[in-house]
Amino acid sequence: MLGTFQKSQLRIEIEASATAIRNSLLKAEELKSWLPSNRLSSGMPEQLTPGFEFTNMVGPFSIHHHVDIIGINCVRFLLSQGIDGFHEWYWGEGWVQSRIEGVTILPLSLGQTLSLLRLRQFLTNK
């Protein structure tokens, strides 16, 4: 993999319940609504489950996601192709936290910030 190792962790407040945040991260239709590229692979189930795999396009780069773990208030994706690493999400009442690490040529912290802002906007407008 070309690129450098990068890591970033951000936490923001969101005026939304833990259930609404969980649904926006695990329900395919909601996920498609706020992801910055809005270009997910077809054939996604209604709700993500461990072991499911999908691809998201970010510009000319495809990022393959493998749903590794889903907990009560967390989800972890193992990433490959455009990013070799992982992306973890944690949430609770009124907050969400994103932690991403990997080797890539993409600016991880910028993409992470944009994703969190789009998620907040989606939940605020919901």
CATH classification of the domain holding 12: 3.30.530.20
Higher pLDDT, 44 or 77: 77
Q: How far apart are CA 79 and CA 64, in angstroms?
A: 6
The residue segments making up the domain with residue 69 are 4-125
* pLDDT of 105: 93
Q: How many domains does the chain have?
A: 1
How many CB atoms are located within 10 Å of the residue 111 CB? 19
* pLDDT of 1: 67
pTM of the model: 0.92
Tens of pLDDT along 96-105? 999 999 999 9
Distance of CA 73 to the CA centre of its chain: 14
* Token digits of residue 86: 């992982």
In degrees and rounded to multiples of 5, residue 22 shows phi and psi of: -60, -45
